[in-house]
Each structure stands twice: as C-alpha cells, then as structure tokens.
Amino acid sequence: MRKSNAGFTLIELMSVIVILGVLAATAVPRFVNLSGSARQAAVEGIAGALASASSLNHAQNIANDANLTSDAPITVSACDDAAGLLDGGLDDDYFIDTVATVIAEGATATCTVRFDSNGNGAYDAADTPFATFTAYGATP
C-alpha cells in the first residue's frame, strides 16, 4: 500500500502568492492616501457642529429676548466668536475666518472653518481643506 503525500505543489503556492500580490497592488493605493478625505470629513464635521451650536445659541437668544428664560446666550458678533459655542472650544489645528464680519443680533453670516494645512498656527486663506457654516448673531 502506498502512502500519498498530501500538500500543495510549488506551482500552486506560487500561483497563490501571485494572486495575492495582484490583489495587494490594486487595493493598497485605494487605502494608502485617505488622509485628505479624512481631513475634509473632519472639517465638514466641525462646520456642522458650529452651525448646530450657532442655531441653538440663536434659539436661546430668542427665548431670552421673549423673557421665556433667564439663561443668556453666548455673544456672537463675528464669525470667530462661534468657536466659543463648542464645548472645549475649537481644536488648535482649525481656524475660523477672521475677516471682520460683524453679525448683528438675529442676522446670519456664512463663515469658513479651515484646517491649518501649512502648520503656521494662524488662519490663512490658502489652508485646505475648508468648509462653510452659518453663524447667527446673538447678544445677551
């Protein structure tokens, strides 16, 4: 009685390695450079949080003006004041447009939040990515 050897031949192993190499060569480039997309998503998330916080602050301002509550809203008279609406403030890597946009109480302004892509620690119109949000003026 003969005993058969069970296992893979060298050709079968080489075929599997080639197939895995081809799959890796096509899949890796898709996942290697996702940092730009992640930064854009983060900036859009921050812009959404700023818009939501600004809307809630505006509602608080309306309720305060109507004497429905004694809780005062946070003062927002310029775009960069909206950073104070976020719990913990705005991360150091992000900046809100510091252009002298004065927002009257009850008025709105379209503001821009940017990621500090050049690392200079300051708002720069060349920083990317960026996203816009609507800020509502509020004064207690």
Tens-place pLDDT, residues 107-123? 999 999 999 988 888 88
Alpha helices by DSSP H, listed for 76-122, are none
pLDDT the model gives residue 132: 93
The domain total for the chain is: 1
In a domain, 113, yes or no: yes
Residue 4 reports pLDDT greater than 70 = no
In a domain, 27, yes or no: no
Residues 39 and 132: their CA atoms lie apart, in Å, by 14
Its domain, for residue 85, covers 35-136
**How distant, in Å, are the alpha carbons of 40, 52, 93, 116 from that of 119?**
16, 27, 8, 5
Tens-place pLDDT, residues 80-108? 899 999 988 898 899 998 776 788 988 99
pLDDT the model gives residue 52: 93
In a domain, 2, yes or no: no
pLDDT the model gives residue 123: 82
In a domain, 43, yes or no: yes
Residues 84 and 132: their CA atoms lie apart, in Å, by 17
Tens-place pLDDT, residues 52-89? 999 999 999 999 889 898 888 999 999 989 999 998 88
